[in-house]
Structure 1
Amino acid sequence: MLYLNKPTVKQLADYADSMKQTLLDAVPNSGIPVAAQTFLDEKRVTSILTDTPDLLIRHHNEFMPKLIKNFNGKEYLTYLKIKSKQDKDLSLVEKTLIGRYKISGSLLKIFDYEKILSKSKSKSYNLATVLDRYTCTYCNRLYTNTVITPLEKGQRRLNDDNRITRPQFDHWFAHSVYPILGVSFYNLIPSCSVCNSSVKGDEIFDLENYTHPYMQDPAEVFSFSFNHKDIKDLNVKINVKKGSKMANHLSAFKISEVYNAHSAMELRDLLDLKYKYTDDYIHTLFNDTFDALDVSLEEIYRMVFGIEQMEQNYHKRPFSKFKHDILKELILIS
Structure 2
Amino acid sequence: MIKIRVNEGRMKKIEEKHWKWFWNNYNKTITRCIEAEEEEFYYKKYNEKTKKYDIEEKITDIEIKRFLSYINKTNAQSEPEILKIIIVGKLINEENKKESIRYITENILKKFPKIFCCQIQQSVKSFLKNKKIIMKNIKCSDRNNSNEFNKVKNCIKDYFKINKDILNIYVDTLDDINLKIDQINLTEKQVRNFNENTFIKFKYNGNEEFIQMQKILLNIFNYKLFTDEGKEEGDDWGAYSLLKELDITTCPYCNRNYIHTYIGKEGMCRADIDHFYPKSKYPFLAVSLYNFIPSCHTCNSSFKNVVDTFLLPHLYPYENEFDEEAKFKTSFYTGEDNKNEECEKDNVSQKKEEYDISYLLGNSDNFKIEIKPKDCESETGKKIQNSIDTFQLEELYNFHKDYVRELIKKAIIYNESRIDELYTQYPELFSSREEVLQMVVSNYICDEDLGKRPLSKLTKDICDELGLK
Task: Judge same fold: TM > 0.5, yes or no.
Answer: yes
3-state SS of the aligned residue for 1:211?
A: coil
Aligned equivalent of 2:121: 78
- 1:37 maps onto 2:72 in alignment: no
Q: Aligned partners of 1:298 and 1:148: how far apart in 2?
A: 34
Superposed, 1:109-188 pairs within 5 Å as 109-113=219-223, 115-122=224-231, 123-149=238-264, 161=265, 164-188=268-292
Q: How far apart, in 2, do the equivalents of 1:124 and 1:45 lie? A: 20
Aligned to 1:318: 454
Letter in 2 for 1:59: I
Secondary structure of the 1:143 match is coil
Matches of 2:275 and 2:299, distance apart in 1:
11
Counterparts in 2 of 1:22 and 1:135: CA distance versus 1, 3 Å:
same
Cα pair 2:368 2:398 within 8 Å, conserved: yes
Question: Secondary structure at the residue paired with 2:249?
Answer: coil
- Aligned partner of 2:403 in structure 1 is 266
Distance 1:283 1:38, change over 3 A: closer
Please tell me whether residue 289 in structure 1 is matched to residue 422 in structure 2: yes
Deviates more, 1:123-132 or 1:199-208: 199-208
Code of the residue aligned with 1:293 in structure 2: it is Y
Tell whether 2:104 aligns with 1:59: yes
Q: What's the counterpart of residue 223 of structure 1? A: 327
- Deviations 1:21-52, CA, capped at 9 Å, x for gaps: 21342233164643333334343322111111
Contact 1:24 1:40 in 2 (8 A): no
Which residue is 1:252 aligned to? 390
CA contact (8 A) 1:60 1:180 kept: no
Identify the structure with bigger relative contact order (alpha carbons < 8 Å, sequence gap 6+). Answer: 1
CA contact (8 A) 2:260 2:269 kept: yes
Alpha-carbon deviation of 1:226? Answer: 0.5
User: What is the one-letter code of the residue matched to 1:38?
Assistant: S
1:212 and 2:316 matched: yes
When structure 1 is superposed on structure 2, of 70-79 and 191-200 the one drifting more is 70-79
SS of 1:236's partner is strand
The change in CA–CA distance for 1:128 and 1:293 in structure 2 (over 3 A counts) is same
Say what the alpha-carbon RMSD is for the aligned residues.
Answer: 3.0
Q: CA 1:80/1:246 → structure 2, altered by over 3 Å: closer, same or farther? A: closer
Distance 1:132 1:311, change over 3 A: same
- Checking the alignment, whether the CA contact within 8 Å between 1:234 and 1:268 is kept in structure 2 is no
Aligned to 1:97: 206
Alignment match, 1:331: 467
| Counterpart check, 1:22 vs 2:25 | yes
Larger radius of gyration: 2
Q: Secondary structure at the match of 1:29?
A: strand
CA contact (8 A) 1:309 1:320 kept: yes
Task: Report if the CA contact (8 A) 1:211-1:220 is conserved.
Answer: no
**Distance in 2, Cα, partners of 1:222 & 1:4:** 17
Offset of residue 124 of structure 1: 0.9
Q: Give a deviation string over 1:41-70, Cα, whole Å, max 9, x none.
A: 34332211111113213333444677x5x5
2:370 is equivalent to residue 237 of structure 1: yes
8 A Cα contact 2:275 2:291, kept in partner: yes
Higher mean Cα deviation, 45-54 or 172-181? 45-54
Asked if structure 1 preserves the Cα contact closer than 8 Å seen for 2:328 and 2:370, the reply is yes
The equivalent residue for 2:56 is none
Q: Aligned pair in 2 of structure 1 residues 250, 96: CA closer, same or farther (>3 Å)?
A: closer
